Amino acid sequence: MQLMSLLRSSPRSSSNYSRHFDIPETETSEHVGGAMLPIFLNNLQNSNNYERDLVEVTLQLDNNSFVLCSVKPSPDHKIQIEEENSPRKFSYWLRSPEKDDQNQTREMKLKVVRNKSSTERALGGLRFISKTSGECDSNNDIWGKVERRFNALAKDGLLTREDFGECIGMGDSKEFAVGVFDALVRRRRQKMARISKAELHDFWLQISDQSFHARLEIFFDMADSNGDGRITKEEVQELIMVSASANKLSKLKENAGEYACLIMEELDPEDVGYIELWQLETLLLQRDNYMSYSRPLSTTSVDWSPNIGTSNANNIVKKASRALKCLVLDNWHRGSIILLWFLTMIGLFTWKFMQYRQMEAFQVMGYCLATAKGAAETLKFNMALILLPVCRNMLTRLRSTRARILIPFDDNINFHKIIAHAIAVGIILHATNHLACDFPHLVNSSPEKFALVASDFDKLKPSYISLLTGVEGITGISMVILMTIAFILATRRFRRSVLKLPPPLNLLTGFNAFWYSHHLLALVYILLLLHGTFLFFVHKWYQKTTWMYISIPLILYIAERTLRTWRSEDYAVKILKVSVLPGDVLSLIMSKPAGFKYKSGQYIFLQCPTISSFEWHPFSITSAPGDDYLSVYIRIVGDWTKELKMVFTEIPVCVVGRAKFKEHENVDQRGCLPRLLVDGPYGAPAQEYQNYDVLLLVGLGIGATPFISILKDLLNNTRAHENVDSNTETSASDDSWTSFASSSSASSVKKKSQRTRSAHFYWVTREPGSLEWFKGVMNEVAEMDHKGQIEMHNYLTSVYEEGDARSTLITMLQALNHAKHGVDILSGTRVRTHFARPKWTEVFKRIALKHPYSTVGVFYCGMPVLAKELKKLSQELTYKTSTRFEFHKEYF
């Protein structure tokens, strides 16, 4: 029976090729593959009777028959293959029949145990047809699309090998598609570079086969380039390189030889020089077992039910009720502030409208005058109020008070924009009623009516031109022009350079145009004071209320800017290290100014006088409050950041390399580095992370920077509290985080327990090189987090999702390397990298089940599109589970 099994798995001589294996059909829970396979194989090799269990069987094979040449004891454990011209001769080492029962048990254990659960998991993998192309369509619909592409690409009714990938939907992975094409051609025992539509359909049926084993055979044949039914190390290496190219993983491609050896070491412990299909299947089906040996930094220990909280999902009334509750809960403080502001404007407008309605001037100019003056009153109020949301120092201090319960400080910029829109509406009402209504009424009024207001114009009826050229007219028109310029250049299309203009008009787009045009508003406030002083129909000083509205906010704002200027000069920092990281990111490590205190999650403004003495740009602080230095990560995306990189990298003292956090030995002491000024710190939503039991930190690309400081601070605080409670000192360490402990006194540790007990960090990036940014940080988290307080997840969206055939081998390598060495092959850290995008619904449900009756702070930094999804999930899961989620979006 064993001999026939071997023959069935030997090289095929028929064109209708298929493989068969003696696999036990009974269900069992015993898994012998996975991370324990090397241990099991070693136990077999060390067995006392192992040497006597093998015999050499030499067969001579012809096209349709074979001849048994000899059977003799084996001198060693290797399989020998002697190939002659014709016929071929094979020598296999087989089990001795005397030990048949014992050895058959061992052989069965070495093969894949296909129970129901492992088969179901496997069926989700090895897809040659991506989900995006076939998730909602039937197989016939997808074939219709393939057929249409064939008609467009085929020449003379034949599709070339190079166009095969584009035709089946693998246009972005042509090298991998060529490998699939060659494997399918080899299975037909043919050599061809072009195929007909019928042949394409046959290929299509094979790659779209829902059988996992059928897809596995295609994958095996891709690696088996010579078609002998065995995969050598060189063939494994070639397949790794093809998979790496398809996923744009250049680093993995460079180390393909090393990882090929890893696979052969795992699947070929006896060093016979090749692996077969069942061994590859073992590795695929036992991937989850390998992952169970990985450190739980990127895995969760709680299973969840996909039906959580959906018992009344179809009840429309309850759905509407839940949505209303979510809306009220999430926006009550915003709504209350907006409502109070809106009612205040209505009150001011009504009061001023009724006041002018009782004046004699109303008889001359009518409702136009009353409407213009009512709008003017709201303008004075809003011109004062709009300054407060941008007083950053004041807001930073207020964030730490109980005022944060009532005032949504996270929305200060949004409120600033809303007020700006209200000002625009007020300007239109005020200016239009003056210019188009009450001025013409005054100019064209009868002598009897003009006599009612003649005293305000020195008994002379003014002309329309004289009204425009007076103090009121000139200041008013000037303010409208300046504010129009500032408002237009502050819109997203101009500020983000979405609008593409030809030179020199392109200077009107971008951040610089927004920044400088906003400073025109300083002149607007001067004109506003003049405009409010020279008023018609108002003569008493206390009735001229413009200065009353804007004086206090204006003083606060002037004090704010003065403080920034003074502090930035005092906070000039010394550059300790400059690192250029993959993905065009600049890492700066600076000296920490004396007296500079901040919280994790806050940000600072940086100015480089070498570039510009006026431009300040915000960046999140990535160092922890206890560190003796400041660090920021800067993505090179705009003119200022490009110039900053040029300034720091075109000097000989620049250190280019991977970012680390305590390499200050090579600090340039000559002071020849460009000067850098710091302004801050300023408050951000994440600075209050300690108010939550559990944290969910989500960063997209460079958006992970605000949370690096939180992760470090969370671990530092935990360790400090443990040391205070146990009255022990932190042992010295060489890593960059624990080194700060010597400079942080134990007296600074508060003796109250820390509320935050767990954190889940999700970092999503599309560039493999960006995984290098925080490599040191993640390794240090893995080293310091002895209690499993932090769960870290890296997601690389440029790699095809797990289960796609193009990423299958990478997934296998990742699982194997993690199990054997505890290191991820993509990030080089102990944190496993996932492929594609996270399934956020599953993430939220898993956290809800893991942390019931807890308050979870969801902090997000990235694109606005995902923010809406996370905010919605936070609201839904708050009412579907016992866990409360509170969503916050970071600025930078």
Q: State the sign of the Cα–Cα–Cα–Cα dihedral 60, 66, 68, 72.
A: positive
DSSP states of 356-407 as a string? HHTSTHHHHHTHHHHHHHHHHHHHHHHHHHTTGGG-HHHHHHHHTSGGGGTS
Contact present, 685 and 751 (Cβ < 8 Å): no
Q: What is the pLDDT of residue 375?
A: 94
Residue 371 has pLDDT above 70, yes or no: yes
Q: What is the pLDDT of residue 792?
A: 87
Mean pLDDT of 588-593: 89
Q: Can you tell me the distance from the alpha carbon of 684 to that of 707, in angstroms, rounded to the nearest whole number?
A: 11
Q: State the sign of the Cα–Cα–Cα–Cα dihedral 793, 798, 803, 806.
A: negative
DSSP states of 504-528 as a string? TGGGGSSHHHHHHHHTTHHHHHHHH
Tell me which of 170-184, 280-294, 633-647 is least confident: 280-294
Q: Can you tell me the distance from the alpha carbon of 890 to that of 874, in angstroms, rounded to the nearest whole number?
A: 16
Nearest by Cα to 712 from 608, 812, 795, 784: 784
Read off the DSSP letter of residue 307.
Answer: T
Mean pLDDT of 372-387: 94
Q: What is the pLDDT of residue 666?
A: 35
Q: What is the pLDDT of residue 345?
A: 95
User: Which residues, 6 or more positions from 573, have their beta carbon under 8 angstroms from its beta carbon?
Assistant: 590, 591, 592, 593, 630, 676, 677, 678
Paired residues of 634 in beta bridges: 586
Between residues 427 and 777, the one the model is more confident about: 427
Paired residues of 194 in beta bridges: 160
Q: What is the pLDDT of residue 104?
A: 45
Residue 737 has pLDDT above 70, yes or no: no
Q: Which class for 343: exposed (0-12), middle (13-18), buried (19 or more C-beta within 10 A)? A: exposed
Mean pLDDT of 549-565: 91
CA angle 118-124-130, nearest 5°?
165
Q: Can you tell me the distance from the alpha carbon of 281 to that of 122, in angstroms, rounded to the nearest whole number?
A: 9
Between residues 297 and 863, the one the model is more confident about: 863
DSSP states of 23-56 as a string? ---S------SGGGHHHHHHHHHT-TTGGGGEEE
Q: What is the pLDDT of residue 664?
A: 37
Q: Can you tell me the distance from the alpha carbon of 380 to that of 376, in angstroms, rounded to the nearest whole number?
A: 6
Please tell me whether residue 765 adopts helix, strand or coil conformation. Answer: strand
Contact present, 608 and 572 (Cβ < 8 Å): no
Mean pLDDT of 859-886: 86
User: Which residues, 6 or more positions from 493, have their beta carbon under 8 angstroms from its beta carbon?
Assistant: 499, 509
Q: Can you tell me the distance from the alpha carbon of 248 to that of 767, in angstroms, rounded to the nearest whole number?
A: 9
Tell me which of 70-79, 510-519, 795-804 is least confident: 70-79
Mean pLDDT of 738-752: 40
What pLDDT band is residue 512 in, cutting at 50, 70 and 90?
Answer: confident
Q: What is the pLDDT of residue 672?
A: 59
Q: What is the pLDDT of residue 523?
A: 94
Q: What is the pLDDT of residue 426?
A: 95
Q: Which two tokens stand for residue 880?
A: 């579907």
Residue 78 has pLDDT above 90, yes or no: no
Strand ranges in 106-158 using DSSP code E only, listed in sequence order: none
Strand ranges in 777-817 using DSSP code E only, listed in sequence order: 790-796
Phi-psi region of 270 (alpha: psi -120 to 50; beta: other; left: phi over 0): alpha
What pLDDT band is residue 749 in, cutting at 50, 70 and 90?
Answer: very low
User: Which residues, 6 or more positions from 185, have their beta carbon under 8 angstroms from its beta carbon?
Assistant: 191, 192
Residue 706 has pLDDT above 80, yes or no: yes
Please tell me whether residue 444 adopts helix, strand or coil conformation. Answer: coil
Nearest by Cα to 735 from 771, 694, 780, 774: 780
Q: What is the pLDDT of residue 60?
A: 56
Q: What is the pLDDT of residue 744?
A: 42
pTM over 0.75? The answer is no
Q: Between the ranges 90-94, 185-189, 754-758, where is the mean pLDDT highest?
A: 185-189
Q: Which two tokens stand for residue 245?
A: 């190219």
Between residues 95 and 322, the one the model is more confident about: 322
The phi, psi pair for 78, rounded to 5°, reads: -95, 150
Q: What is the pLDDT of residue 306?
A: 42
Cα-Cα-Cα-Cα torsion 241, 247, 248, 253, nearest 10 degrees, comes to -20
Q: State the sign of the Cα–Cα–Cα–Cα dihedral 50, 51, 53, 54.
A: positive
Phi-psi region of 882 (alpha: psi -120 to 50; beta: other; left: phi over 0): alpha
CA 454 remoteness from chain centre: 68
Read off the DSSP letter of residue 769.
Answer: G
DSSP states of 823-840 as a string? --TTTSSSSPEEES---H
Helix 233-246 and helix 256-267: axis angle, to 10°? 130
Averaged pLDDT score across all residues of the chain? 75
What contacts 24+ positions apart, CB below 8 Å, involve 375-379? 375/349, 375/426, 375/429, 375/430, 375/433, 376/352, 376/426, 376/430, 377/348, 377/349, 377/351, 377/352, 378/345, 378/348, 378/349, 378/422, 378/426, 379/423, 379/426, 379/427, 379/430
Strand ranges in 466-602 using DSSP code E only, listed in sequence order: 572-573, 575-581, 585-591
For the chain, the maximum distance between any two Cα atoms, rounded to a whole number of angstroms, is: 134
Q: Can you tell me the distance from the alpha carbon of 186 to that of 225, in angstroms, rounded to the nearest whole number?
A: 8
Residue 376 has pLDDT above 90, yes or no: yes
Q: State the sign of the Cα–Cα–Cα–Cα dihedral 465, 468, 474, 479.
A: negative
pLDDT in tens, 135-183: 445 667 788 888 888 888 888 889 888 888 888 888 777 888 888 888 8
Between residues 155 and 280, the one the model is more confident about: 155
Please tell me whether residue 886 adopts helix, strand or coil conformation. Answer: strand
Q: Between the ranges 136-145, 154-163, 399-408, 806-815, where is the mean pLDDT highest?
A: 154-163
Inter-CA distances, 835 with 247, 710, 767, Å: 10, 25, 12
Nearest by Cα to 488 from 504, 469, 505: 505
pLDDT in tens, 457-496: 878 888 889 889 989 899 999 999 999 999 999 998 898 8
Between residues 782 and 309, the one the model is more confident about: 782
Q: What is the pLDDT of residue 485?
A: 94
Paired residues of 81 in beta bridges: 90
Q: Can you tell me the distance from the alpha carbon of 512 to that of 371, in angstroms, rounded to the nearest whole number?
A: 37
Nearest by Cα to 188 from 10, 20, 16, 64: 16
What pLDDT band is residue 235 in, cutting at 50, 70 and 90?
Answer: confident
Q: Between the ranges 322-331, 484-493, 670-679, 709-718, where is the mean pLDDT highest?
A: 484-493
Q: What is the pLDDT of residue 5?
A: 36
